[in-house]
Amino acid sequence: MFIMQLRERLFRKMGGVMTMAKILVVDDDRGMREFLEIMLTREGYHVRTDSDAGKALNRCRKEKFDLIITDLKMPKMDGIAFLREIKDICPETIVILITAYASGDTAVTAMKEGAYDYIEKDFAVEDLKTIIQDALSKKGLKKGDAIFLKEVGEAVRFGNMIGNSREMLKVYATIKKVADTPANVLILGESGTGKELVARAIHENSSRREKPFVVINCGGIPENLLESELFGYIKGSFTGAYSDKDGLFEIAHGGTIFLDEITQLARLLQVKLLRVVQEKTFRRIGGADDIHVDVRIISATNQNLEDTVKTGSFREDLYYRLNVIPIHLPPLRERKEDIPALTNHFIDKYSKEFGKEIRTISSYAMELLMQYPFPGNIRELENIIERSIAMETSNIILPENLILTEDTGEKGKFPYHEMSDIGLDLNDELAKFEKC
């Protein structure tokens, strides 16, 4: 009766909604059961209890629990056997074992069987609370990941990225996890893999989505101009500075700045960028006042940044500041199952752009694409499809209109020929392809 009254008071206190996790306590010791029920109910959890493993298993077949706390030594079925049964019935349920008879061997066995933790009966209440909170927190994250991966796994597109290969699903899940944190992100991947799309997806899935997303290619602007682009300048600070100019960090205030090809940043600018990262302040060229900005920095490179640190061309302290969360983008040759979806996307895009009625690609042409190593990654695939659409006169992309680069960077050569006015002999070309 006391437990029911306590639960009812908590229910009213929490606005009539019990939002906390469901916990099952299994122990043949009535005193321990009641103690845990009272303690956990006071914490706001929805608690059920059973005196033996058999009753608990029957309950678990009808009702789902987020976490189970079970005694190790019980009549008829001990905690280890119960743990095995629970993992068969509901593998996502967290199990914590409690016993008065602790031993190293039993602990190892329990962990191998899938127990989250193993504690003695003379536990400190605060320790148990912490273990439960940590376990439920991790369970919520894993459950959220599973739901998210199921959702994106059934689709081909995430933001402006296309593909549902295992490698890309991992990238999507990482984006979802880190998007709404303030942590700096470093995107690593070969040229043409879509690093800017990842940066944009992070921004658009964050609370900064309504603020600016500013992109700058550190390798595409001369060093003397890049500083003024990033930090701005004061009127009269140099020849041609006819008025004050806001830098890109000011423009990106409240939003995200994407620094592509970060390894191309000169050492002097690396020092100034480090100050922005650490102190959130900078000065315009020719200015004396510190300007404070709230900007999330996402950087990217197609080089091995650790090697550039070792050679001294990139500052180690800046590397660690930018590389809080690394995201590795796989090359297209490691996610070939995404090629058909990407191809169809580009066919649709360029058919509309060129005003053509091309809607598909022949099976032979697709086979050529699936075998090709794509040294230029997605950017190269897009270029191939754009060129094929421009040259195609039928309503389907044929192999003779796929112009693939000869030098693949890998062993052997991929068959390539300039097309004459009369085209190619398809059977002859396929025979050559099969030999390579």
Rounded to 5 degrees, φ, ψ at 262 are -60, -25
pLDDT digits (tens, 9 = 90+) for 79-113: 888 998 998 888 888 999 887 765 555 666 777 67
Last residue within a domain, chosen from 275, 301, 330: 330
3-state helix, strand, coil in the chain (%, to 5): 50, 15, 35
Tokens standing for residue 403: 């112009």
Question: Mean pLDDT: which of 80-89, 400-409, 423-432 is highest?
Answer: 80-89
The answer as to whether 151 is a domain residue is no
Confidence of residue 16 (pLDDT cuts 50, 70, 90): very low
What is the pLDDT, as a whole number, of residue 17? 35
Note down the domain range covering 114: 2-145
**Whether residues 393 and 248 fall in one domain:** no
Mean pLDDT for all residues in the chain:
82
> How many domains does the chain contain in total?
3
The pLDDT, as a whole number, for residue 50 is 93
pLDDT tens track for 330-353: 999 999 989 999 999 999 999 999
Residue predicted with more confidence, 291 or 422 = 291
Mean pLDDT lowest for which of 57-66, 162-171, 255-264? Answer: 162-171
User: Would you state the pLDDT for residue 219?
Assistant: 86
User: Do 315 and 167 sit in the same domain of this protein?
Assistant: yes
Give the CA count within 13 Å in the CB-facing half-sphere of 209.
Answer: 9
pLDDT-based confidence at 153, cuts 50/70/90?
A: low
Q: Which residues neighbour 178 within 8 Å (Cβ) at sequence distance 6 or greater? A: 185, 202, 325
Look at residue 1 in the predicted model and tell me its pLDDT.
Answer: 43
pLDDT at 374: 94
The rounded distance, in Å, linking the Cα atoms of 55 and 64 is 14
With respect to residue 171, please indicate whether it lies within any of the assigned structural domains. yes
164 and 294 both lie in a single domain: yes
Same domain, 76 and 162: no
Reported as a single tens digit per residue, the pLDDT across 280-310 is 998 888 878 889 999 999 999 999 888 999 9
**Domain match, 93 and 120 both:** yes
Q: Which of 330, 351, 378 is the last residue of a domain?
A: 330
Give me the pLDDT at residue 239, please.
75
**In the prediction, which pLDDT does 142 show?**
58
Q: Is residue 150 part of a domain?
A: no
